[in-house]
Amino acid sequence: MCKRLALIIGAAGSIASFGAMAEAPLAFHVSGQPVYTKIKTGGESFSPSLFQFKADIEVTDGLLDGIGIQGMVAAPISDDKATGITLEIAQQSGVYITLTNPEYQPDDVKVSVLLGYASTEIETVSTGLNAKHKDTFSDFSYGISLQDRIIEGKPFYWTLDYIRYFKDDDLRIDGLGLGVTYAF
């Protein structure tokens, strides 16, 4: 997971430094936030927690104004138990295209739509049988992100995200995160 985070931050940093050299209108952000997840499957509901790291780069002028790319990795904080089963999200990652209103002003609440792909590895342990099972669920993922400046004139923002990481007929994985973003 640390390798994925380093790769995402490194790639975004390289793009940002290239943009700075070419004087391209780009904004670069990094963020950290705890995420409350809700996993529904087979009539059961689990709520393990994660800590999520995000990095994104966004075009701030021209034809592509408001369009960006975001990478995300998450690590487990806690697991959850129900009816003799312990469930933990072992790891999670994703990549998204971000769509933000080009008319957004720095003093406004920034609203972004996230469209992309996420992969979630879930580990379950049956306490009665002492059996461990891991499975990875990957598919189209989408959500919404809100950002607002914490202190006027400073590059720190609070961030609230709601993301649907995965959904099929038998399983749904959603997340709600609240954290802090730093804008370069």
Average pLDDT over residues 130-153: 92
Q: pLDDT class for 152, splitting at 50, 70, 90?
A: confident
The token pair at 88 is 């933990």
- How does pLDDT run across 53-84, given as a tens digit for each residue? 999 999 988 889 999 999 999 999 999 988 88
Give residue 129's pLDDT band: very low, low, confident or very high (50, 70, 90): confident
Residue 151: predicted pLDDT = 87
Q: Which carries the bigger pLDDT value, residue 77 or residue 2?
A: 77
Q: How far apart are CA 126 and CA 59, in angstroms?
A: 47
The SS3 assignment for 152 reads: coil
pLDDT band at 20 (very low <50, low <70, confident <90, very high): very low
Alpha-carbon distance 92 to 140, whole Å?
Answer: 14
Q: Please say if the pLDDT value at position 49 is more than 50.
A: yes
Given the candidates 2.40.160.20, 3.30.379.10, 2.70.150.10, 3.40.50.10470, the CATH classification of the domain at 2-183 is 2.40.160.20
Does residue 8 surpass a pLDDT of 60?
Answer: no
Domain boundaries, the chain: 2-183
Tell me: pLDDT of 127 over 90: no
Determine the pLDDT at residue 111. Answer: 94
pLDDT mean across residues, the chain: 87
SS3 10: helix
Average pLDDT of 29-36?
96
pLDDT band per the 50, 70, 90 thresholds, residue 21: very low
Least confident of 18-27, 30-39, 115-124, 130-139: 18-27
Minimal CA–CA distance to 123: which of 93, 89, 78, 84?
A: 89
